[in-house]
Amino acid sequence: MSEWMSMQAMNARERILGKLRSSLQGTSPIVDDYDVDVLTAPWRYAPEARIARLRQMLESVHGETLLTTTAEWPLRAIEALALRNIGELLIAPTTAHGRQFANHVALNAVPLRLKAYDRAVEAWKEELFFRTPASLTGTLGGIAATGSLVLWPTPAEPRLMSLVPPFHIALLKASEVRDNFHELMHEQGWAGAMPTNALLVSGPSKTADIQQTLAYGAHGPKELLVLILQDA
Amino acid sequence: MSTLADVPGVPIAFKRNAREALDDRQLRRNFRGAMDFLMDKRRSQFPDGDELERLRAFGNRVRARALSKLPELLERLDANLTRNGVKVHWAETVEEANAIVHRIVEQHAAKKIIKGKSMVSEEMEMNHYLGERGIDCLESDMGEFIVQLREEKPAHIIMPAIHLNAGQVAKLFHDKLEVDYTEDVDRLIQIGRETLRRNFFEADIGVSGVNFAIAETGTLLLVENEGNGRLSTTVPPVHIAVTGIEKVVENLRDVIPLLSLLTRSATGQAITTYVNMISGPRKADELDGPREVHLVLLDNGRTQAFADGELRQTLNCIRCGACMNHCPVYTRIGGHAYGTVYPGPIGKIITPHMLGLDVTRDLPTASSMCGACSEVCPVKIPIPALLRRLREEAVRAPEAEPHHVRGQGTKYSKKETMVWKAWRSLNTSPVLYRAAMYAGTRLRGLMPSTIGPWTAHRSAPRLAARTLHELAREHLGDQ
Amino acid sequence: MSHPFPATANATRVAPPLEAARAYPVKPSDVFLFGTCVIDVFFPGAGMDAIRLLEREGITVHFPQAQSCCGQPAYTSGYTDEARAVARAQIALFAGEWPVVVPSGSCAGMFRHHYFELFKDEPQTLKQVESLAERTFELAEFLLEVCRVRLEHTGSPVRVALHTSCSARREMNTHVHGRALLKQLAGVERVDHDHESECCGFGGAFSVRMPDISGAMVKDKTAALKGSGAAEVVSADCGCLLNINGCFEKQGDTLRGEHLASFLLRRTSPAAEGGAR
């Protein structure tokens, strides 16, 4: 970075902070009286209603959901791909669910080409953007109140895996669905351990920028299928 | 129509712009329809009035708390972002902010920039600045892409192309992108998607705004529905985020109430499709994400609003746009007539700090003070009170101390000051008041049938034959 | 009622808590009437009708002849010192224990809410402001909640549209009180109009300073009122009525808005005593 720039930046920083400080002279900070109840009480669900709420919210924004099990989900995913005539899937073979799926495909000789996001994006942009019709990722949980999936991209499942392919299949363990964002954030201890990128995903990509008319598949996935593992 | 204050110090031609907009029947229809739609959407998200009021109070408190320790939080944000590997820059003016961005562009010999939605970059007129220096900036938000194709500015802070209907977009795409004419919105969006797709990975730099900057964790939070924001901040090797210094919140958990208020108030969504929390560049073992992340913190008049406790409330704003959606003035004239980046009620109270009260002199006046804006504001900004305050600053003598707002006294006139002093005398002297009212009602036949602008749309009001003072005295006796 | 103000001008402000539901006193024997300047010279009949409605409830009405204006025109125009001087004169006139009834929601709102801001640096005056605010009632509110009137309709069936001024609605809940009073009148059907809660475009000086925008607003408002199918229009705010009636007249329309006080009195008086307008 050039010297000019750091000089300029330092000066601007000090001047801005100086003005702000002098404006606050003699005042005291407002105390933090964070009211958890406001954020949680209206958004609590009985155990049997929690998944229903999540599904209802996701489906209201064109997300597709399926109740399945740890043993059966690969079949459901394969059916969904077949239904769309998709012969290729991006998976993360080093994850448990990636391995399970790859084994299933191999054992059953499923006519599906699997590929991995195993090199930096720069090395295969064209293919990722134009020749990767679908992806499968795990999730870190879900939020019933808003119908949201939680994703913390990892080296195995990078950021773009859930974004670029037009069809995204996400695995969600029913036991990892929480009532509301506060509960989830608190339980998972986010504040102490934010990853480079954390995401809430609530449906396929959409826009209403033309005459308030909702259209799906704006820049991200056109379809999102959430496989909810009831026994996990 | 002029859309921006092109010449520094010259007042925006607001009244002329407004007149033109009022005469544009298509524009009136588009806005009325869009605002009705957005008001309904918001209402549907808040079926429980008590929940809404508790949440608004919470939101107000979170923002006020952040402002009450803003310098400390900005330092903490800077430190934590830096620890996370993000480069933080500070700019007092838009010129400085643009120069910072340009330096980064030059360091990377970048030619092409892809942009997610950012109102602060509009404030900077970044596209224009970089364009003049041979750098292409391409807007990737569908609405922003449309207004860029039309060589316009956004007409709304959340829905930039809200002034257009599908037919107008169809014609635009047909003319500019040379595609077959179609009014099918799904098809139009797919045309946009296909046109922009390659640009995401051809761009050297991605630019975005920030919805909340979290001091505690050094995190930039962005909300969006389309996915272009995630693409712009993930695919190019460099990500530059630009934001105002007021966008910081203290703790990560503080975003929970604000996020809920923001998406429900703005577009009537329980949540946006994506909530994207960025806490650093790509790590050594990661396979995507920018290798460099920059944050530019912009002042541009915010410290002026900050200096006064009342005006500071302007900076509570989380840019949801609900105030404009509910504003009877905005609904009728649309966003461009304001001639400012931020239109509508929030624009009227924030822009005087950015451009000066002289340039924006008509804006605080262009309100009936109906209060529809503050009624829906998710962070409880008392917008009418702040408009009133700006009116006061505009009519104070230019040299009067203390000086709160640049352009103070822009509407100061000896004549009008005299009129109000006379009004005071009249209304504080019972004898004078009754004599004047008595005379007025007796001479009512002399009242002209046209009185300036009032009678352009209404008949002149007629004074009664006798005042209530007289009738009441007759009925009740002298009291 | 409390309006907490920050300790210093540069303290960060938190929004005041929501007002608790207002506790109403028992019906008093005496009240002040603050007539408002617009009623004084443009709609004195509405002021007299307000007095008669109160007297009919057995209340002695006091109308201090030294009263003038609440100060709102100067206040909203940014002439704060002038507004304060005029406000101070009114505060002195309405001291004591009697309730202050105001046949205008926006002037009542000025007393109840904005005087606190005007006198925030004068602790002594603030005490008087507090007392005035506590005793100030918009007319419809006073009739409904303090007098607990039970109105009997004596006229023929009619459909009416109710327009409520923005400050009356947002600061005084006048739309709720107005609706409740109209509902007492069997045979009076209140009909909604399009975008009912939207401003009519008056806004005091706004209508003169921004005539085109204000004109567009009042044209939409009159069209909505016409389109509601109502035969009569009532409002508890005479500023709006000046604007709306002026627009009806300019358009050659015969419809005119009437102050709620006049409508209520006329519609509940024995036919012989002036059932006609």
Return mean pLDDT, chain C: 94
Q: Which of residues 11-70 of A touch C (CB under 8 A)?
A: 23-27, 30
Query: Is the distance from CB of B463 to CB of C26 less than 8 angstroms?
Result: no
CATH for A39-229 is: 3.40.50.10420
| β-bridge mates for residue C100, sequence order | C32, C136
Q: Which residues in chain A have Cβ-Cβ distances shorter than 8 Å to B225? A: 205-208, 218
Please give the C-alpha separations between residue A23 and each of B302, B314, B354, in angstroms, as whole numbers.
Answer: 12, 15, 18
d(CA B437, CA B425): 14
SS3 content of chain A, % helix, strand, coil (to 5): 40, 20, 40
In this structure, the number of other CB atoms found within 10 A of the CB of residue A1 comes to: 11
- Structure confidence at residue B469 as a pLDDT band (50, 70, 90): very high
d(CA C54, CA B132): 72
> What is the nearest CA distance from B91 to chain A, expressed in angstroms?
6
Q: Is A159 on the interface with B (CB under 8 A)?
A: yes
Please give the C-alpha separations between residue B79 and each of A198, B97, C132, C267, in angstroms, as whole numbers.
Answer: 20, 20, 52, 71
pLDDT of B92: 97
| β-bridge mates for residue A197, sequence order | B278
d(CA A231, CA B382): 51
What is the number of helices (H) and of strands (E) in chain A?
7, 12
Contact assignment for C12 to B427 by CB distance below 8 Å: no
Residues 6 or more apart from C164 whose CB is under 8 A from it? C105, C174, C175, C178, C197, C235, C236, C237
Q: Which residue of C has its CA nearest to B15?
A: C210
B37-63 pLDDT, tens digit each: 999 999 999 999 999 999 999 999 999
Domain spans in chain B, listed from the N-terminal domain onward = 46-303, 414-476
Tracing tokens 């099918």 back to the chain, one arrives at: B184
> What is the nearest CA distance from C21 to chain B, expressed in angstroms?
13
B171-192 pLDDT, tens digit each: 999 999 999 999 999 999 999 9
pLDDT of C272: 42
pLDDT of B2: 39
Query: What Rg do the C-alpha atoms of chain B give, in angstroms?
Result: 25
Q: Which of A129, A153, A220 sits opposite B226 (nearest CB)?
A: A220
Q: Provide the H-helix boundaries in B69-134.
A: 70-83, 94-107, 119-124, 126-132
* Main-chain phi, psi angles of B47, to 5 degrees: -70, -25
> What is the nearest CA distance from A31 to chain C, expressed in angstroms?
11
pLDDT of residue C4 exceeding 90: no
Disruptive mutation site among C5, C12, C238 for chain B (greatest number of B CBs within 10 Å):
C12
Q: Which residue of B has its CA nearest to A125?
A: B201
d(CA A14, CA B92): 10
Domain spans in chain A, listed from the N-terminal domain onward = 39-229
pLDDT of C40: 97
Q: Is B385 on the interface with A (CB under 8 A)?
A: no
- Rounded to the nearest 10 degrees, how much is the dihedral formed by the CA atoms of B235, A208, B350, B335? 120
> What is the nearest CA distance from A22 to chain C, expressed in angstroms?
10
- Structure confidence at residue B443 as a pLDDT band (50, 70, 90): confident
Percent of chain A residues past pLDDT 90, beyond the cut: 95
Disruptive mutation site among A16, A132, A149 for chain B (greatest number of B CBs within 10 Å):
A16
Percent of chain B residues past pLDDT 70, beyond the cut: 98
Disruptive mutation site among C10, C14, C18 for chain A (greatest number of A CBs within 10 Å):
C10
Q: Which of B198, B201, B274 sits opposite A199 (nearest CB)?
A: B274
Tracing tokens 């519609």 back to the chain, one arrives at: C267
d(CA A208, CA B143): 9
Contact assignment for A24 to C8 by CB distance below 8 Å: no
pLDDT of A1: 47
Pairing of strands A88-91, A113-116: parallel
For residue B184, give both structure tokens: 């099918």
Q: Which of B185, B216, B257 sits opposite A213 (nearest CB)?
A: B185
d(CA B65, CA B61): 6
Please give the C-alpha separations between residue A213 and each of A209, B37, B187, C238, in angstroms, as whole numbers.
Answer: 7, 10, 12, 42
* Main-chain phi, psi angles of B110, to 5 degrees: -75, 145
Chains that touch C (3 or more CB pairs under 8 A): A, B
Q: Is A82 on the interface with C (CB under 8 A)?
A: no
Contact assignment for B278 to A34 by CB distance below 8 Å: no
Residues 6 or more apart from B178 whose CB is under 8 A from it? none
In order along its 232 residues, chain A shows pLDDT tens digits of: 455 555 666 699 999 999 999 999 999 999 999 999 999 999 999 999 999 999 999 999 999 999 999 999 999 999 999 999 999 999 999 999 999 999 999 999 999 999 999 999 999 999 999 999 999 999 999 999 999 999 999 999 999 999 999 999 999 999 999 999 999 999 999 999 999 999 999 999 999 999 999 999 999 999 999 999 999 9
Return mean pLDDT, chain B: 96
Query: Is the distance from CB of B325 to CB of B35 less than 8 angstroms?
Result: yes
Q: Is A113 on the interface with B (CB under 8 A)?
A: no
Q: Is A160 on the interface with B (CB under 8 A)?
A: yes
Q: What is the end-to-end Cα distance of chain A in Å, rounded?
A: 50
Q: Which residue of B has its CA nearest to C75?
A: B388
Please give the C-alpha separations between residue B220 and each of A199, B60, B207, B217, in angstroms, as whole numbers.
Answer: 12, 20, 13, 9
Q: Is B313 on the interface with A (CB under 8 A)?
A: no
- In the DSSP assignment, the letter for residue B111 is -
Q: Which residues in chain C have Cβ-Cβ distances shorter than 8 Å to A30? A: 12, 14
Contact assignment for B428 to C243 by CB distance below 8 Å: no
**Residue closest to A201 by CA, chosen among A183, A179, A223:** A223
For residue C219, give both structure tokens: 């044209």
Query: Is the distance from CB of B213 to CB of B249 less than 8 angstroms?
Result: yes
Tracing tokens 């003038």 back to the chain, one arrives at: C68
> What is the nearest CA distance from A32 to chain C, expressed in angstroms?
12
Residue B180: burial class (beta carbons within 10 Å; 0-12, 13-18, 19+): exposed
Q: Which residue of A has its CA nearest to B156?
A: A209
Chains that touch A (3 or more CB pairs under 8 A): B, C
Residue A179 region by backbone torsions, left for phi larger than 0, else alpha for psi between -120 and 50, else beta:
alpha
In this structure, the number of other CB atoms found within 10 A of the CB of residue A4 comes to: 10
* Main-chain phi, psi angles of B184, to 5 degrees: -75, 115
- In the DSSP assignment, the letter for residue B245 is G
- In the DSSP assignment, the letter for residue B358 is T
Q: Is B402 on the interface with A (CB under 8 A)?
A: no
For residue A7, give both structure tokens: 């000089």
Query: Is the distance from CB of B350 to CB of B305 less than 8 angstroms?
Result: yes
CATH for B46-303 is: 3.40.50.10420
pLDDT of C155: 94
Please give the C-alpha separations between residue B143 and each of B21, B124, B189, in angstroms, as whole numbers.
Answer: 20, 19, 10
Q: Is B182 on the interface with A (CB under 8 A)?
A: no
Reported ipTM exceeds the 0.85 cut: yes
Contact assignment for B461 to C82 by CB distance below 8 Å: no
Enclosing H/E stretch for A21 = helix A3-23
Q: Is B372 on the interface with A (CB under 8 A)?
A: no
Residue A118: burial class (beta carbons within 10 Å; 0-12, 13-18, 19+): middle
C14-53 pLDDT, tens digit each: 999 988 899 999 999 999 999 999 999 999 999 999 999 9
Residues 6 or more apart from B96 whose CB is under 8 A from it? A8, A12
Q: Which residue of A has its CA nearest to B250?
A: A32
Please give the C-alpha separations between residue C253 and each of C243, C247, C277, in angstroms, as whole numbers.
Answer: 14, 8, 18
pLDDT of A8: 62
Fold for domain C158-272? Answer: Rossmann fold (3.40.50)
Q: Which residues in chain A have Cβ-Cβ distances shorter than 8 Å to B289? A: 153, 158-159, 196-197
Question: How much is the average pLDDT of C235-258?
Answer: 96
Contact assignment for B453 to C208 by CB distance below 8 Å: yes
